[in-house]
Amino acid sequence: MQVTAVYPGSFDPITNGHLDIISRGVRLFDRIIVALLRNEDKAPLLPLSERIEIVRSVVSRYPSVTVDSFDGLLVDYARARGAQAIVRGLRALSDFEYEFQMALMNRRLEPGVETVFMMPSEGYSYVSSHLVKEVVRLGGDVTGLVPVEAIERLKARYASTGPG
């Protein structure tokens, strides 16, 4: 059986921690769909088109990984794409409560899709899109924590809007 996993998120921007999860996932799943949430209620810094471009460019080395966007319920999207699994990364205990609730709600909504938690390398356990944005906004160096494509986009964004 071919196993397809959806790896959902805002990816605002994708970090090297996310990429670490993808690189581990390609060893487990036949196909991974990185699915970016289209919902603008979350007020992302980078527009969806830019976030998709960054993800596409950094996952191009993995033939089994594709990039897409979705709105509505994640489980409806996973079902429509024939996915058997949802992948989520767990960095620390603080991620657990929210992730556990989401996984159980998703299971209740669609028992046929299993949530699989994966741990990134411990070197990325403190890296989040939120903190990366704050550091870049305030002029700090995030080299090695996010792909260079993301750093350039973030800098360009803050150069046009100002550090706030």
Point out which residues bind ligand PNS (CB under 6 A).
8-10, 37, 73-74, 102, 105-106
Annotated active-site residue 128? The verdict is no
Least separation in angstroms between residue 8's CB and ligand PNS is 4
CB-nearer residue toward ligand PNS: 3 or 102:
102
Annotated active-site residue 129? The verdict is yes
With b for 16 or more beta-carbon neighbours within 10 A and e for fewer, the 66-101 pattern comes to ebebbeeebbebbbebebbbbbbbbbeeebeeebee
Among 31, 51, 129, 133, the one annotated catalytic: 129
Mapped onto helix, strand or coil, the DSSP state of residue 118 is strand
Least separation in angstroms between residue 48's CB and ligand PNS is 12
Annotated active-site residue 42? The verdict is yes
CB-nearer residue toward ligand PNS: 26 or 89:
89
**Cα separations (Å) of 145 from 20, 80, 96?**
11, 33, 22
Least separation in angstroms between residue 25's CB and ligand PNS is 15
Calculated CA dihedral for residues 138, 142, 146, 150, nearest 10 degrees: 50
Active site residues: 18, 42, 91, 129
